[in-house]
Amino acid sequence: MDAATLKGLQAPLKEKYRQDPAAAFITLHAQGKTGPNISCQVDTGHMVVEAGLHPATGGNGTQACSGDMLLQALAACAGVTLNAVATAMGIELTAAVIKAEGDIDFRGTLGVSKETPVGFSAIRLQFVIDSPATDEQLDKLLQLTERYCVVYQTLRSGVAIENSLQREAGNA
């Protein structure tokens, strides 16, 4: 896709959202269903992924790990955003690899240490880019990718999460 095609696709959407800001507000959905052997099947819209315990918490490694899936979502969002921004800027990407890695101390999630936080203590995102673009263009590309990447900004800024419980009828 070239910049003109991308602009042609996005221009009507941008104008619509300028005229009707409420039209830009969309709620995305995900759903999982618990399964055997401490698993959860998540429908991605393209396939069902079975998530389970990481080997560091007793899993056997045959199921997806939710922590890995979080990093994969970050890499995917950053990659799509990088590609879109590069296209809009007219920057040729000969190749680009996006690497996400995160550090976890599993003592927290296993309850071994109450002082150890549960979750990632650090996440690193690396872009390995082959491009004829100048260093200045690539610096701007990275800056705009960070600015417009939904998953990156959500993780970086944090967001309130609300939990609720709904009992299924007949199980009271």
Domains in the chain: ranges and CATH? 65-157 (3.30.300.20)
Residue with tokens 């959500």: 154
Q: Residues 23-64: pLDDT tens digits?
A: 999 988 899 999 998 999 999 889 999 999 999 999 999 999
What's the predicted TM-score (pTM) here? Answer: 0.90
- Are 70 and 85 in contact by the 8 Å Cβ rule? The answer is no
- In whole numbers, what is the pLDDT of the chain averaged over residues? 94
Q: Is 169 or 25 the better-scoring residue by pLDDT? A: 25
User: With bands split at pLDDT 50, 70 and 90, how would you rate the model's confidence at 83?
Assistant: very high
List, in order, residues 6 or more apart from 81 with CB less than 8 Å away: 145, 148, 149, 150, 152
Instruction: Measure the CA–CA gap between 96 and 156, rounded to whole angstroms.
Output: 22
